Structure 1
Amino acid sequence: MKSGTSVHVHLPSELGYEKVAMSTAASMAALMGFSKDRIEDLKTAVAEACINAIEHGNNLNDSLTVGVVLSTSDDQLEVKVIDDGAGIRSNPVAPDIDRKVHGEEDPRGMGMFLIQALVDEAEWHKGPPGKSFVRLVIKLDKEDQ
């Protein structure tokens, strides 16, 4: 796949449609030469970002869409997931796993932490409606090339 390729996907704000973004990201990563393990990491991160956008950004409002923009360069794939929410106040902090396991905290709320663990770069950008987004970058490893 040549550098500078960009693909835009618009998803309904309905759970299940994150799979469309996952498949698109996986296809692009495979064309770029990413390993199967890296592609699985990317798929999970993209799914989590889309689910967060659908649930929290767009509040499951089926009149709103989630935008996904996938862009290639020579050695990386960038994915932006854009929603109509107000965005988060700051980048996420690691959850207290022990407290979650022992039922002292809500077991949910680990998606952003998971995203950070799976990709090379993850940034959350707050903006006006339709402009808040998470930016994910996964880099092509030397072993992948």
Structure 2
Amino acid sequence: MKELLRIIWVMFIQCIACWFAGWDISATLFVLVATILWQGVFVGINYRIRLHHKNESKDITVLTYLLLSFPALFSPFISTLICNGLMVFRTLKISGVTILDTPLGKALILNNKHSHDCNSDSVEFERTNPATGLVMHGGTDIAGNPYGLSNYP
């Protein structure tokens, strides 16, 4: 029931945003159908995640939907981005995924033991194309073949 109320609220906000923007009925209907499909897909995903976890996970509060509905009224595009972003965020929150948790955060940060001083004078480049045996000039050999490739079988 809560999911149905969320979909109705999102469609209501989307419809008002299209009306404020002066969109015609066909464009508004297209956006509403796309919204229903998007919301339906993520309702199904969230349902399966909840069945798998078998516990009551945290979810986005009604207050979040209400607060983000106000800026969504300014443009149908903003409304679509906010509503779709909320559904993706809900899925991450329900499944317990955290963004940039410690292991991922550490993986993205380069520390000194992985950084190397790159001196281009000490780098040795291959002078011939291994596929053709022809002399390389830049990224291609003298026949115009890219490095490692040959135009002839």
**TM class by smaller structure:** 0.3 to 0.5
Name the structure, 1 or 2, with higher relative contact order (CA <8 Å, separation 6+).
1
- Normalising by structure 1, what TM-score? 0.39
Relative to its length, the structure with more strand (as a share) is 1
TM-score by length of 2: 0.38
Larger radius of gyration: 2
User: Which structure shows the higher helix fraction?
Assistant: 2
